[in-house]
Amino acid sequence: MSAAVDISDVIVVGGGIVGSAIARALAGTKLSVTLLEARNDVGDGTSKANTALLHTGYDATPDTLESRLVARGYELLGAYAEQTGIPVEHTGALLVAWTDEELDALPALKEKAERNFYHRCEIVGADEVYRRVPDLGHGVLGGLTVPGESIICTWTTNLALATDAVARGARLMRGARVTGAVADDGRTTLQTTRGDVCGRWVINAAGLGADHLDAEFGHHRFAVTPRRGELLVFDKLARPMVPCIVLAVPSSRGKGVLVSPTIYGNVMVGPTSENLQDRTATGTSEEGFEFLVSKGRALMPSLFDEEITATYAGLRAAIDQDDYLIDINVAARYLLVGGIRSTGLTSGMAIAEYVTGLLDDAGLDVTERPDLPPPPKMPNLGDAYLRPYQDGERIAADSEYGRIICFCERVTAGELRDAFQSPIPPADLDGLRRRTRVMNGRCQGFYCGAHTKALLDAGGQAR
Ligand SMILES: Cc1cc2nc3c(=O)[nH]c(=O)nc-3n(C[C@H](O)[C@H](O)[C@H](O)COP(=O)(O)OP(=O)(O)OC[C@H]3O[C@@H](n4cnc5c(N)ncnc54)[C@H](O)[C@@H]3O)c2cc1C
Predicted confidence (pLDDT) per residue in 74-96, tens digit: 999 999 999 999 999 999 999 99
CA distance 413 to 399: 9
Residues 6+ apart with CB under 8 A from 365: 29, 30, 31
Look up residue 321 and give its DSSP letter: S
CA of 228 to the centre of ligand 1 (A): 12
Distance 167 CA to ligand 1 centre (A): 23
Euclidean distance between CA atoms 334 and 256, whole angstroms: 37
C-alpha torsion sign, points 369, 43, 455, 463: negative
CA pair distance 408, 241, nearest whole angstrom: 20
266 pLDDT more than 50: yes
**Statement: residue 35 has pLDDT above 80:** yes
Residue with the bigger pLDDT between 361 and 252: it is 361
Which residues, judged by CB distance below 6 Å to any ligand atom, belong to the binding site of ligand 1? 13-19, 36-39, 44-47, 50-53, 55, 177-178, 205-209, 213, 229, 271, 314-316, 340-346
pLDDT recorded at residue 442: 87
Name the maximum alpha-carbon separation found in the chain: 68
Among the ranges given (109-113, 168-172, 283-287), the one the predictor scored with the smallest mean pLDDT: 283-287
DSSP 8-state assignment for residue 47:
G
* Residue 160 near residue 114, CB atoms below 8 Å: no
Q: Is the pLDDT of residue 342 over 70?
A: yes
Residue 157 burial (CB count, 10 A): 29
Report whether pLDDT(129) > 50. yes
The per-residue DSSP string of 390-429 comes to G-HHHHHH-GGGG-EEETTTTEEHHHHHHHHTSSS--SSH
pLDDT value of residue 1 = 42
